[in-house]
Amino acid sequence: MSLNLKKISDSSRTLYTNEGGGLVPVWNHLIKIESISEGSCLYADDVDIEAGLLTPIVWFYAHAFYRYRQWRWRALLKK
């Protein structure tokens, strides 16, 4: 398993990594944060996955994982 930080930009508020290993050789991840107004922002995960025949299964897992993570962050912000 590897995780390589490829780009971190304060000005564009982005983080880009190349990840992968084992059954998932490519898991490239772009995180973008955009200010909407004072005290709120738009957060987006863009993930490029290549896992051969397992790609649909890995995609489904990633989709569920990131939805859950964003739901948890929203719940934590309400406290």
Query: How do residues 8-51 score in pLDDT, each as one tens digit?
Result: 999 999 999 999 999 999 999 999 999 999 888 898 999 999 99
The pTM of the full predicted model, rounded to 2 decimals, is 0.81
Residue 77: pLDDT band (50, 70, 90) is confident
Per-residue DSSP letter, 72: H
For the chain, list the domains and their CATH numbers: 2-78 (3.30.310)
Task: Round to whole Å and give the CA distance between 36 and 48.
Answer: 26
Q: Is the pLDDT of residue 79 over 80?
A: no
Per-residue DSSP letter, 61: H
Identify any residues that bridge with 3 across adjacent strands, giving them in sequence order: 19
pLDDT for res 73: 86
**Tokens at residue 24, please?**
């998932």
Task: Round to whole Å and give the CA distance between 54 and 62.
Answer: 12
Residue 67: pLDDT band (50, 70, 90) is very high
